[in-house]
């Protein structure tokens, strides 16, 4: 039993890092003045305007002026501004200054105090139980074999091995066109992330296929649960093998010049993946080799032990069958795992569990067989199948904001609970750990900072319309595109970060913020916080507020004597 030797007290509690103080700007002052205490003006009073040296008397200020000095040509002026800005960014970004993000941090979209939470609920797969990447490879291989053996697809597809880093979660798939792509929060395709098969589609072809735009209209896009009439969004972590198999099957037919209907291919691949789950292949693999497939079981034990010891009510609602959950929980927590939970519900059929009131609860006996008695209360130590949330609320009385439910699927686990029922919700996003580590690297922070600064230069200097100046601006635009590609490829060469496109949040991020109060890499992040802790979301700037929010730069504790100039780096 993996969790027997680990107890909650063995985990070191970490202070949550202050993430929004990464960047602060202030005007430089003489050393003597900096050492002298300065009286604070009364709240609401206007501070006296600082005396400034005229630009024509201050060489440094002249270097940052928006107009060329007398006698200089525009081209030289623009490149001088470019050089000064690059040196400034380099000087103000000391090594390691952005290595502040803790992968074990819990991030807040809404203010929430754990002190008010009396009931904690959990999904099972990718919430209580985290799985190793080896599971995705096996799902892919089995579904690929089903395509060949049962759906009579060409055997050449068998030559394609699983590509674990091909896709990322949250992508959209145009069913009729056979295109896998990343879409931002405003329904725009991120050009450079559109793939037909395993090959990228050039931007001009994408625009041609979508009638001169890269916008996906609302009526075509994925619906509330990610399943639109023409475009599907892949939100489940289990969907990574499915996206890869779709790309592989498309690639085989295209590479071999075989005529096919992308709609038929999509249905066949989806059915093959579904067979892996419905026919119990995945459950059997995990149950036969728990040690290979289940990760961090000791941490799951520690979380449950700590919550139960603190007097919190715990419940489990999962779509997985009892025999599968029971074996996994025995491995992670111990044979008495049900003692932690006040209610256990399996094969719940989420998301329908949360939005209909038709299916009744059925009790399972110790052998997992269905009983026929009417359920008038949900008892600790018992296991229930199916049911619906309306009966759950009636029988438990657990309503509203005192309940916090954790799950990995934004649609199936969290959306209805937040929007319809007022529960607090926590999203488990395992990808956060690797993405946070990348954001902490010097390469990424330097590239992002210079990208922001260069964008500010382009915005301010576009007033120069002569041919030489326009050529300089074109050179800057090219460099900006290269920086965008670099910051994208650091996360994933094909599709970039799951959280953002070049400058907008992804569609996935939009849903993450909409449907979760807090999000984290794993449940074990709870071990870093006191159970009376309050999570405060940081006020983030709107575009018209951005010049006043200098931490838009995300560069660390930078200081500049030219606040008004740096305000345009955003």
Instruction: Please identify which residue in the block is written with the tokens 């990343």.
Output: 182
Q: Nearest 5 degrees, angle CA 144-CA 146-CA 150?
A: 140
Tell whether 377 and 444 lie within a shared domain: no
Instruction: Look at residue 19 and tell me if it is in a domain.
Output: no
User: Do 235 and 301 sit in the same domain of this protein?
Assistant: no
The pLDDT assigned to 563 comes to 38
CATH of the domain at 387: 3.40.50.1000
Report the predicted TM-score, pTM, of the whole model to 2 decimal places.
Answer: 0.83
Does 301 lie in the same domain as 370?
yes
**What is the token pair recorded at 225?**
């649960």
Residue where one domain finishes, among candidates 479, 505, 520: 520
**What per-residue confidence (pLDDT) applies to 539?**
84
| Residue 423 and residue 442 in one domain | no
Strand partners, 244: none
Residue 211 lies in a domain: yes
Cα–Cα distance, 123 to 417 (Å, whole number): 13
Q: What pLDDT is stored for residue 91 in this prediction?
A: 81
Specify whether 169 is located in the same domain as 217.
Answer: yes
Domain boundary among 288, 317, 337: 288
In which domain, by residue range, is 485 found? 74-102+432-520
Q: Do 139 and 204 share a structural domain?
A: yes
H helix runs in 120-192, sequence order? 134-149
Tell me: the pLDDT tens digits for 511-543?
999 999 999 999 999 999 999 999 999 888 787
Asked whether residue 444 is domain-assigned, the answer is yes
Is residue 25 situated within a structural domain?
no
Please give the pLDDT value at position 547.
61
Residue 318 lies in a domain: yes
| Cα–Cα distance list, 289 to 124, 282, 331 (Å) | 18, 11, 11
Among residues 267, 288, 309, the one where a domain terminates is 288
Residues annotated within a binding site for Mg(2+):
123, 408
User: Per the domain annotation, does 537 fall within a domain?
Assistant: no
Residues annotated as binding site for GMP?
125
Do both 309 and 276 map to the same domain? Answer: no
Q: Please write the tens of the pLDDT for every residue from 156-206.
A: 999 999 999 999 999 999 999 999 999 999 999 999 999 999 999 999 999
Answer yes or no: is 13 within a domain.
Answer: no
- 231 and 167 in a common domain: yes
The kind and range of the H/E element at 517 are none
Query: Which residue has 């940052």 as its token pair?
Result: 64
Question: Is the domain of 308 the same as that of 438?
Answer: no
Looking at the DSSP bridge assignments, the partners of residue 467 are none
Specify the pairing of strand 179-181 against strand 195-196. antiparallel
Residues 137 and 280 in one domain: yes
Count of the separate structural domains present in the chain: 3
How many CB atoms sit inside 10 A of residue 403's CB?
Answer: 22
Query: Both 165 and 259 in a single domain?
Result: yes
Q: What CA–CA distance (Å, rounded) separates 479 from 305?
A: 53
Q: Which helix (H) or strand (E) holds 449?
A: helix 442-461
Instruction: Please identify every residue annotated as catalytic.
Output: 123, 125
Claim to verify: residue 422 and residue 341 sit in the same structural domain: yes
Q: Is residue 38 part of a domain?
A: no
Q: Per-residue pLDDT tens, the chain, 570 aa: give them.
A: 444 444 344 444 343 333 333 332 233 333 333 333 444 444 344 444 444 444 444 444 444 455 665 556 899 999 999 999 999 888 877 666 666 788 899 999 999 999 999 999 999 999 999 999 999 999 999 999 999 999 999 999 999 999 999 999 999 999 999 999 999 999 999 999 999 999 999 999 999 999 999 888 766 666 666 667 789 999 999 999 999 999 999 999 999 999 999 999 999 999 999 999 999 999 999 999 999 999 988 999 999 999 999 999 999 999 999 999 999 999 999 999 999 999 999 999 999 999 888 899 999 998 888 999 999 999 999 999 999 999 999 999 998 899 999 999 999 999 999 999 999 999 999 999 999 999 989 899 889 989 999 999 999 999 999 999 999 999 999 999 999 999 999 999 999 999 999 889 999 999 999 999 999 999 999 999 999 999 999 888 787 876 655 444 443 333 333 334 444 443
Report the 3 state secondary structure along 386-448: ECCHHHHHHHHCCCHHHEEEEECCHHHHHHHHHHCCCCEEEEECCHHHHHHHHHCCHHHHHHH
């Amino acid at each position: 039993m993996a969790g027997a030797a680990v107890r909650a007290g063995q985990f070191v509690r970490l202070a949550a890092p202050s993430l929004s103080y990464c960047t602060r700007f202030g005007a430089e002052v003489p050393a003597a003045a900096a050492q002298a205490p300065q009286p604070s003006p009364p709240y609401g009073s206007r501070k006296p305007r600082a005396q400034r040296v005229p630009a024509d008397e201050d060489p440094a200020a002249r270097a940052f002026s928006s107009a060329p000095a007398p006698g200089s040509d525009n081209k030289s002026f623009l490149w001088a501004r470019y050089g000064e800005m690059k040196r400034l960014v380099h000087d103000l970004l000391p090594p390691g200054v952005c290595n502040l993000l803790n992968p074990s941090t819990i991030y807040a979209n809404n203010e929430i105090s754990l002190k008010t939470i009396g009931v904690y609920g959990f999904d099972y797969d990718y919430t209580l139980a985290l799985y190793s990447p080896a599971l995705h490879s096996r799902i892919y291989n089995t579904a690929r074999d089903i395509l060949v053996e049962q759906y009579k697809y060409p055997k050449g597809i068998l030559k394609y091995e699983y590509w674990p880093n091909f896709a990322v979660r949250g992508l959209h798939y145009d069913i009729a066109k056979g295109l896998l792509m990343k879409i931002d929060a405003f329904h725009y395709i991120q050009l450079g992330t559109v793939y037909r098969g395993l090959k990228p589609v050039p931007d001009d072809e994408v625009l041609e296929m979508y009638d001169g735009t890269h916008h996906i209209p609302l009526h075509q896009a994925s619906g509330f649960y990610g399943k639109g009439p023409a475009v599907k969004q892949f939100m489940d972590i289990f969907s990574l093998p499915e996206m890869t198999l779709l790309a592989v099957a498309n690639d085989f037919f295209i590479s071999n010049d075989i005529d096919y209907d992308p709609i038929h291919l999509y249905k066949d691949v989806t059915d093959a993946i579904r067979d892996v789950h419905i026919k119990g292949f995945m459950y059997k693999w995990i149950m036969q080799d728990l040690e290979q497939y289940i990760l961090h079981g000791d941490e799951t034990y520690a979380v449950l032990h700590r919550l139960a010891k603190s007097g919190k009510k715990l419940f489990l609602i999962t779509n997985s069958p009892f025999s599968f959950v029971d074996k996994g929980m025995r491995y992670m927590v111990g044979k008495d795992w049900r003692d932690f939970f006040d209610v256990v519900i399996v094969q719940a059929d989420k998301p329908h569990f949360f939005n209909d009131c038709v299916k009744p609860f059925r009790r399972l006996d110790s052998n997992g067989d269905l009983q026929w008695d009417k359920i008038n209360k949900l008892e600790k130590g018992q296991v229930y199948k199916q049911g619906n949330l309306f009966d759950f609320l009636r029988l438990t009385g657990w309503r509203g904001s005192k309940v916090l439910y954790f799950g990995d699927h934004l649609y199936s686990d969290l959306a209805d609970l937040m929007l319809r029922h007022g529960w607090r919700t926590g999203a488990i996003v395992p990808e956060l750990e690797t993405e946070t580590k990348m954001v902490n690297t010097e390469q990424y922070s330097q590239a992002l900072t210079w990208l922001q600064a260069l964008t500010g230069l382009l915005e301010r200097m576009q007033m120069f319309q002569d041919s030489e100046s326009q050529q300089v601006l074109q050179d800057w635009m090219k460099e900006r595109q290269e920086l965008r590609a670099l910051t994208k490829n650091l996360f994933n060469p094909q599709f970039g970060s799951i959280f953002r496109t070049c400058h907008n949040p992804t569609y996935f991020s939009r849903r993450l913020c909409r449907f979760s109060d807090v999000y984290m890499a794993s449940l074990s992040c709870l071990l870093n916080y006191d159970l009376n802790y309050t999570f405060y979301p940081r006020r983030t700037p709107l575009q018209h507020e951005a010049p006043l929010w200098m931490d838009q730069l995300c560069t660390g504790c930078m200081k500049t004597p030219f606040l008004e100039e740096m305000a345009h780096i955003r």
